[in-house]
Amino acid sequence: MSFGGGIQIPIRLPLLLTHEGVLLPGSTVRFSVDSPRNMHLVSQRLLRGTSVKSTIIGVIPNTRDPESDTDELPTLHKIGTAGIAVQVVGSNWPKPHYTLLITGLCRFSVSSLLKERPFVLAEVEQLDKLEQYSTPAREDVISDNEELGQLSQKFYQAAVQLLGMLDMSVPVVAKFRRLLDSLPRETLPDVVASMLRTSNKEKLQVLDAVSLEERFKKALPMLTRQIEGLKLLQKTRKMGPDAEKRVLSVRKGGVFPGRQFSLDEEDEDDNEDDTAALERKVQGANMPEAALRVCLKELKRLKKMPQSMPEYALTRNYLDLMVELPWSKSTKDCLDIGAARTLLDSDHYAMDKLKRRVLEYLAVRQLKTSLKGPILCFVGPPGVGKTSVGRSIAKTLGREFHRIALGGVCDQSDIRGHRRTYVGSMPGRIINGLKTVGVNNPVFLLDEVDKLGKSLQGDPAAALLEVLDPEQNHSFTDHYLNVAFDLSQVLFIATANTTATIPPALLDRMEVLQVPGYTQEEKVEIAHRHLIPNQLEQHGLTPQQLQIPQDTTQDIISRYTREAGVRSLERKIGAICRAVAVKVAEGHRVTKRDALTPKGQTQQGDKATPPEMPIVIDHIALKDILGPPVFEMEVSERLTLPGVALGLAWTPLGGEIMFVEASRMEGEGQLTLTGQLGDIMKESAHLAISWLRANAKTYQLTNMVGGPDPLEGTDIHLHFPAGAVTKDGPSAGVTIVTCLASLFSGRLVRSDVAMTGEITLRGLVLPVGGIKDKILAAHRAGVKCIILPKRNEKDLGEIPAKVRAELNFVTIGNLDEVLNAAFDGGFPGTTSEHVHPQLSSKL
C-alpha cells in the first residue's frame, strides 16, 4: 500500500487494545473486537468516519485480555502500530462483536493518555516515516551503512530462498513473490516477520526495534529458523508419513509447510489441529446420519475457506452449535411415585388436579419408558403458581428446567430461528434452550403463551404448531440448523391466563389443565407455609423476631387483597417485614403512638430501647403499616334499594362479583345501557326486558303510571359499575332479570344472594362456565347464598368442602325459580315449588 511522501498520522489516535496478535507496519491482520472499550471505538469512530484519517487507529498490544476487567485500563505496550481499517464486519451471535481487517502503516509511541472512557484516546509520536515506504528503490536508505547493507542483502536472499521452498500454486505465495522485488528493502523485516510462524513475543521484539539495523537482526534468526524447518520437513517426507508427523510434533510452531502460506498472524498448525479437533467432536457427537452428513459437508468447506472471509465465522459458529446440541444426551427420570408426591406437596399447597396429572405421567412413564412427553397447558389467573409448578415438576422428575418467556413475541424467527444467509443469524429459542440445558429431555416452560403477537415477520403461534404436536415434533426443523431435531422427549408446559386468545389449532395440541384461584383458607395455609418464611429470610428476620398470627393473615387477605392468586398477599407480608426490620435495626425507638410496640413493653417517650421479642403483628399494627383497609364488605350496604342485584363474573384474573343497577324515569320506553358492555351482554339485557314485558301481568309488574306494560311512558337505565372494565358474556342474564324485576316491583333483592346464568326468551336458564372461580369470588366477598343453573350442579364437585359447607346453593332451571329464590318470601305470581334458600340443604 503506497502513500504520498510526507504523510503524517494524526497526533491524537484512538487506541484498539488487543491481546490476540501483533500488527506490524506493512502487514494486514484481522482482529476480533468484543470488549466494551473496543466496541465503542468501532461504533463511534470507524462506523461514523468519512475520511481516510478518521479510519486511522492505533493498535496497542497489552498483557491482559481487555474484556477480563472492563473497569481498570490494562497495561499497554510502549510502542504500537498506526493502521487503517479497511474492513469492518459486525455480528450479533453468539454475542455482539465486530471483526476488523487492519493494514499497518507505521510505528508510534504513546506520549500521554487523554481519556480512558468510552474508548482510549492518546497523544502519540510517529516513529516511522511514511514516505520511506513509497520509494521503489532498495538502496537509497541503506547504501551509506555497510553493515546494514550486508544485513539487508542477507535477509533478502533468505526471503527469496524461503519462497523457493514454498508451493507457488498457492495464490498468496505467488502474490508475495511478485511484491518482493517492489518492496522497499527497509520494509522487509516487518512484512516477512508478520508472515512467519512465530510467537507474539518475537513479533513484539520486531515491533520494538525502531532502528532498522536492530529490526533486521531480530527478524533474520526467525527467517533462518523457518528455512531450516522446511529443509528438515522435506527430508522427513522422503522417509514416510510417520516420520513427518513426528517432526511436526517436535517442531510445532517452527515449520512453515510448503503447501500453505498465510498472511494471518495465527499459527496454521494450530489452525489445522483446531479443525481436526472440531472434526473429532463432530464424529463423536452421536448425531443422526442426516445431521452428520451436513456437518461433514460444512467442515469440508471450512477447511478450504480463508479465515479472512466473513463466512468462515458463520460456518464455524454453525458447526460449534451442532456439536454442542444434545443429540443423544439425556437425564434419567426419577420414577419414585412416593417421593414425587411428597416433593409436590411440600412445594405447593392445594392444586390437587395438577399434582394428580403429574403423578399419572410418572406412573405411566415407569410402566412404559418410551412414552412421549405430554404437552400440558396450565390456564389460570395470575399469581396462583403456574410457573413455579412447572419448576417443581422438573425437580420431581430430576430433569433440567428451562423457561421461555413468550409474552410480546411477534416474530416467528424467535421460535424457528433465522436462515444462515446473513450476518447475525441465530437459532430459535427452542434450539438455544436445548443448547443451554445440554440434554434432550428437559422440561420447557412456555410462559404466557396466550400473549403471543403477530406481525409482518410472521405468526409465532403458528410456528409453535410443529413444536407442540407429539406427532410432528420428533422432526422439528429450525431454520438455522436446517436439519431435523427430535423434541419428542421434551416435556412442554405452557402457561396462560385465558384460552380465548390462543389460536384453536394451537390449543387443540395441548392438554388444558385449569388452575383456579385459592380460597381464603388455602391462602392462609400458603402464607404460613411458604410466603411468611420466605419473606422473613429475604429481610433478615427470624420467627423469634416477628410473628404474624392467622387472624392477622386473614385480615390481610380479606381487607387488603382481593385476588385469585397470592402475589399481592406476598407483597403485603413483605411490607410488614420491612417495617419490622427498621424497628429491629434501629434498636426499636419507641414512641407513644408506635403501633409496633410489643405487648407488655413500657413506653419511654423517644428513648431507644431494645425490643421485646417477638414482635407480634395485631390489627392495630397492621393498620399502622398498611394503612386503612382497601376493601370493605359492601354487599349488604349496596342492596338497600330496589333495582340492584349482585351477579358473578369470570375474568382472566379470576372470579369477580358484579353489581347491576337499574333506574327508571318518565320517557318514551327507551333502554339505556352503560358500563362498557360487549354485544352479548347487551343482547342479554334486551332479552330480559322482552321476557319481563311478556310476563308483566303474571308477576304484577307495572310502569311509573301504573300500567301493565313496564316500559310504557318509562325509560330504563341499566348500569354496570366499574365502567373502565370491559364486560361481556351471557352469564349476567339472570342478574339483569332480577334487577329489573326488583325495580318494577319495588321489592328488595336479598342482600346475601349472588347469581349467574344465561337466559332464553322463553325464560329458561342455561349453564355457564367459570363456576369454581365465581363461587370462590362470592365466598371472598362474604356472600352466603348462590343461585346457579341446574345443569351446573355437576361443577360443585370441584369446590373445596370447607367452602361448600359455608354456602347455600340454589340450582334453578327457569326464571320463575330465580325470582322465587332471589327475594325474601318469594316473588308475587311465581308458581315454582322451589325450596326457599334459607331452608335448602347444603350440597
DSSP string, 513-579: EE-PPPPHHHHHHHIIIIIHHHHHHHTT--TTTEE--HHHHHHHHHHT---SSSHHHHHHHHHHHHH
User: Is 414's pLDDT higher than 60?
Assistant: yes
Of 494, 449, 497, 514, the residue nearest 769 (C-alpha): 514
DSSP string spanning 698-746? TTT---TTS-SSTTTTEEEEEE-S-TTS-B--STTHHHHHHHHHHHHHT
| 374 is annotated as contributing to ligand binding | no
The response to whether 382 counts as a known ligand-binding position is yes
The answer to whether position 256 is within a domain reads: no
pLDDT for the residue 241: 56
Q: Which helix (H) or strand (E) holds 109?
A: strand 97-115
Question: Has 443 been labeled as part of a binding site?
Answer: no
Q: Last residue of some domain: 607, 626, 645?
A: 626
Q: What is the CATH number of the domain that holds 489?
A: 3.40.50.300
* Cα–Cα distance measured from residue 584 to residue 542, given in angstroms and rounded to the nearest whole number: 11
The confidence score (pLDDT) of residue 536 equals: 94
Q: Of residues 55 and 705, which shows the higher confidence score?
A: 55
The pLDDT mean for the chain works out to 82
Please give the pLDDT value at position 258: 34
The answer on whether 386 is annotated among ligand-binding residues is yes
- Residue 448 inside a domain? The answer is yes
pLDDT-based confidence at 596, cuts 50/70/90? low
Flag whether 814 is in a domain.
yes
Do 166 and 244 have their domain in common? yes
Q: Which one is catalytic: 27, 684, 731, 742? A: 731
* Residues 245, 226 share a domain: yes
Q: Which residues pair with 476 in a beta bridge?
A: 485
Task: Count the residues in the chain.
Answer: 843
- Has residue 33 been placed in a domain? yes
User: So what's the pLDDT on residue 51?
Assistant: 63
Same domain, 661 and 786: yes
Residues 520-547 pLDDT 10s: 888 999 999 999 999 999 999 999 999 9
User: Do 589 and 612 share a domain, yes or no?
Assistant: yes
For residue 93, what are the domain limits? 12-133
Residue 453 has pLDDT above 60, yes or no: yes
161-182 tens-digit pLDDT: 888 777 666 666 777 777 777 7
Regarding whether 299 and 359 lie in a shared domain, the answer is no
Same-domain status, 644 and 618:
no
Q: Domain count of the chain? A: 6
Q: Is residue 164 helix, strand or coil? A: helix
Q: For residue 637, is pLDDT > 50?
A: yes
- 271-295 pLDDT, tens per residue? 555 788 888 889 888 999 999 999 9
Active site residue 636: no
Residue 369 annotated as lining a ligand binding site? no
**Contact residues for 79 (Cβ-Cβ < 8 A; gap 6+):** 107, 108, 109, 127, 207, 208, 210
pLDDT tens sequence across 69-106? 456 777 788 899 999 988 888 877 767 788 888 999 89
- Check: pTM over 0.75? Answer yes or no: no
Does residue 61 form part of some domain?
A: yes
**Is residue 526 included in any domain, yes or no?**
yes
Domain stop point among 133, 160, 190:
133
Residue 804 CA to residue 823 CA, distance in Å, equals 22
614 annotated as ligand-binding: no
Which residue is associated with the grid cell 301504573?
706
Please write the tens of the pLDDT for every residue from 33-48.
888 888 888 888 888 7
824-834 pLDDT, tens per residue? 888 887 775 54
Residue 387, annotated ligand binder? Answer: yes
* Cα separation, 494 vs 375, whole angstroms: 8
**Residue 771 and residue 673 share a domain:** yes
Rounded mean pLDDT of 573-600?
Answer: 70
Indicate if the pLDDT at residue 589 is higher than 60: no
Is 372 designated active site? no
| 4 found inside a domain | no
- Assess if residue 90 is contained within a domain: yes
Are 741 and 776 spatial neighbours (Cβ–Cβ below 8 Å)? no
Q: What pLDDT is stored for residue 268 in this prediction? A: 44
Residue ending a domain, choose from 216, 250, 284: 250
Q: What is the CATH number of the domain that holds 809?
A: 3.30.230.10
| 122 and 185 together in one domain | no
385 annotated to a ligand binding site: yes
Return the SS3 of 619: helix
Indicate if 356 and 477 belong to the same structural domain: yes
Q: Are residues 384 and 288 in the same domain?
A: no
- Do 619 and 649 lie in one domain? The reply is no
Query: Measured at the alpha carbon of residue 356, what is the angle toward residues 352 and 357, in degrees to the nearest 5?
Result: 120
Measured at the alpha carbon of residue 833, what is the angle toward residues 829 and 839, in degrees to the nearest 5?
110
Same structural domain, 346 and 425: yes
